[in-house]
Amino acid sequence: MKWISLLALLITLSCSSTKDDVADKKHEDLERNYKVRDASSNYRPGWIVNANLWAKKNSKNISSYRYFSFETGPKVDRDIACNMAKANVKVDIAGEISSYIEKELTSTQEGDAFIDENSPEDKKLIHFVSNVLVERIQSSLHGVAVEKTYWEKRNYEKDLGAKKDFTAYTCAVFVKMNSDVLAEAVEKASKRVIKEAGKTGKAKQVEEILKDAPEGFQKQES
C-alpha cells in the first residue's frame, strides 16, 4: 500500500483544481503558499490535472494512445525536478495499473467473498498487488514518450502559509503511451498476479476476474 499511498499524496498535492477542469490557468489564480517567479509558460497547463481528459479536449489521438502526467514537489534545482518527473511518471503509471488490479480483486470481495480479509494468504496476495507489483511493472515499462514539459520557479513565503521562506523548482511532464503497449503491460501484470495467486490455489479465480483487465483499464476514466 505504501507506493499507492505515496502516489495518491503526490497527485493530491499537485492538483490545484478539480479533475474535470483541464483549462490552462493563470499563475496568480492558483498560487497558495508561494508566488511563481518564472515558468516555462505564462499559463499553468491543464494536462497536469487530468492528462487523458486534456488530450481528449485538445484533439489528441486518444484512440491510439493513453496520456499521463506527473508533477514533482519543490526541488532545489530545475534539472533535478524535471529528471525526477520523467522518472516518476513511470512509477505513476505502474501505480495506476496496480490500483486497478487491486480494485478488481477487492470489489469481488463484496460480491462473492473471493478475498477473505482475515485470511493470511489473501492478505499476502493483496500486499503483493499493492506493493511488489508496482515495482515489477515500473521496471519493465517501455514506450513512454514525453510530449510536453512544464516547470515553475517558486518563492515559498512564510507569510503565505509556507513553513519557511525558500525558493524551489517544480516540474511536470505530459507523456503518451501506445494503447497496445499499455494493454500488454496490464496483461503482463495480470499474469504476475495470477501466478502469485497460484500459491494459494486461487489462480483460476483470479484469471477469471482479470481476463478483461487490459481493456477495462483503458476504458476507465483517468
pTM of the model: 0.81
* Residue 131 DSSP label: I
Q: Taking the chain (222 residues) in consecutive chunks of 10 residues, what is each chunk's mean pLDDT?
A: 46 48 68 91 95 95 96 97 97 96 79 71 91 94 97 95 95 98 97 94 93 91 52
pLDDT value at position 13?
44
pLDDT value at position 170?
98
CA atoms within 13 A on the CB side of 191: 7
C-alpha cell of 171? 516540474
Domain residues for the domain of 210 are 2-219
CA 209 remoteness from chain centre: 23
Burial level of 85, CB count in 10 A (0-12/13-18/19+)?
A: buried
pLDDT value at position 11?
44
The number of distinct structural domains making up the chain is: 1
